[in-house]
Amino acid sequence: MMDLKTEFAGLHLKNPIIISSSGLTDSPEKNKQLEVAGAGAIVLKSLFEEQIMLQANDMKHSAYYPEGGDYLIEHLRSHNLSEYLKLIHESKRVCSIPIIASINCFSNNEWVDFVHKIELAGADAIELNILSVQASVYYECGEFEKLHIDILNNVRKRVHIPIIMKLGTNFTNPVSLINQLRSNGAEGVVLFNRFYQTDIDIDKLEYISGEVLSSPSDLTTSLRWIGISSSTVNKIDYAASGGVHSGEGAIKSILTGASAVEICSIIYKNGPECILPILESIESWMKNKKYESIRQFKGLLNAKDTKGTNMYERTQFLRYFSERE
């Protein structure tokens, strides 16, 4: 029997499959089903700061007296937060695997005070998802990275449970940011978050949603940066996200240095029953390669020399196209 146990951000997982934050994880019943199907950990559906703020602003209608409007806004916030704490508590009650709370945020405002209640509700860790597109002409280089550090510092002061940072792909140097996140108390990073995909309907001349679900080809970006980062910043745990649709994708991620993988799209496509074949595929490969545990091949193919790896990637790119007629 192969040993699939792994450790991510201080959490002990029975296997490296983490269900990422989505509608799949928005109820205790669904989370229990995912555990039974074989999940190693679950990230709860995110609490969206932006959504709460938009709903609150909608209540600032001229028909309300100022005092009444303030009361309704506070009631809305309290209701959203209360429901989220209930989701954590009930999920912990029915599940034995780690339950990770998720906050999708874009500012360093008063919501930060709420993270202590998340810890008290029983969450095993918090995943912070600071997803924002920086497109202002007045933007100064480094502001977005600094926001990550500032939010992390404020949350770190309020909780003792592990903090995981889920990053987008819009950074000049993810390695440098990951190193700063590690220095400021992050126990894990997830590479990468999936942006809302934009497309255009050329008949209606309007913007529409692009492909919502990931594809296996999306994994390549995570493989590159986990491979480079894990060889340089090795005192923090990594998880790959986006494009893991099979045991092969999970194995590739672990070879580059990931401790775990977050999956979502493949479950939307095939249901929770797809988890077991992924685990069986990993076990079969390990048996064939005579590996008895995850740690024996974790990081085996990461970039020992980031400068050399960068040149290697460029060379392969040029060679590929030079050989095509």
Residue 195 has pLDDT above 90, yes or no: no
Report DSSP state, residue 9. T
Q: Which residue has the higher pLDDT, 23 or 311?
A: 23
Average pLDDT over every residue of 55-59 = 53
Average pLDDT over every residue of 50-60 = 53
Q: Which residues make Cβ contacts (< 8 Å) with residue 149, sequence separation at least 6?
A: 180, 181, 184
Return the axis-axis angle of helices 174-183 and 143-156, rounded to nearest 10°: 20
The one-letter amino acid at 11: L
Least-confidence region, from 87-91, 92-96, 301-305 = 301-305
**Beta strands of 202-324 (E only): which ranges?**
206-209, 237-241, 260-263
Report DSSP state, residue 141. T
Q: Which residues make Cβ contacts (< 8 Å) with residue 16, sequence separation at least 6?
A: 4, 6, 8, 40, 250, 254, 258, 259, 260, 261, 282, 294
pTM of the model: 0.89
Distance (Å, rounded) from C-alpha 41 to C-alpha 99?
A: 6
139: left (phi over 0), alpha (psi -120 to 50) or beta: beta
Half-sphere exposure in the Cβ direction for 263 (13 Å, CA) = 33
Residue 321 has pLDDT above 60, yes or no: no
Residue 54 has pLDDT above 60, yes or no: no
Average pLDDT over every residue of 237-241 = 98
Domains of the chain in start order, with CATH, are 6-322 (3.20.20.70)
The alpha carbon of 143 is separated from its chain's Cα centroid by a whole number of angstroms, namely 21
The one-letter amino acid at 320: Y
Give the model confidence (pLDDT) of 140-175 as tens digits: 888 889 999 999 999 999 999 999 999 999 888 999
Least-confidence region, from 237-241, 261-265, 302-306 = 302-306
SS3 annotation, 98-115: CEEEEEECCCCCHHHHHH
Average pLDDT over every residue of 298-311 = 76
pLDDT at residue 63, as a whole number = 47
Least-confidence region, from 57-66, 109-118, 160-169, 170-179 = 57-66
pLDDT at residue 320, as a whole number = 59
Least-confidence region, from 12-16, 50-54, 200-204, 248-252 = 50-54
Q: Say if residues 127 and 43 touch (Cβ distance below 8 Å).
A: yes
The alpha carbon of 302 is separated from its chain's Cα centroid by a whole number of angstroms, namely 20
pLDDT at residue 286, as a whole number = 98
Residue 53 has pLDDT above 60, yes or no: no
pLDDT at residue 49, as a whole number = 59
What mean pLDDT value characterizes the chain? 87
pLDDT at residue 138, as a whole number = 77
Residue 248 has pLDDT above 70, yes or no: yes
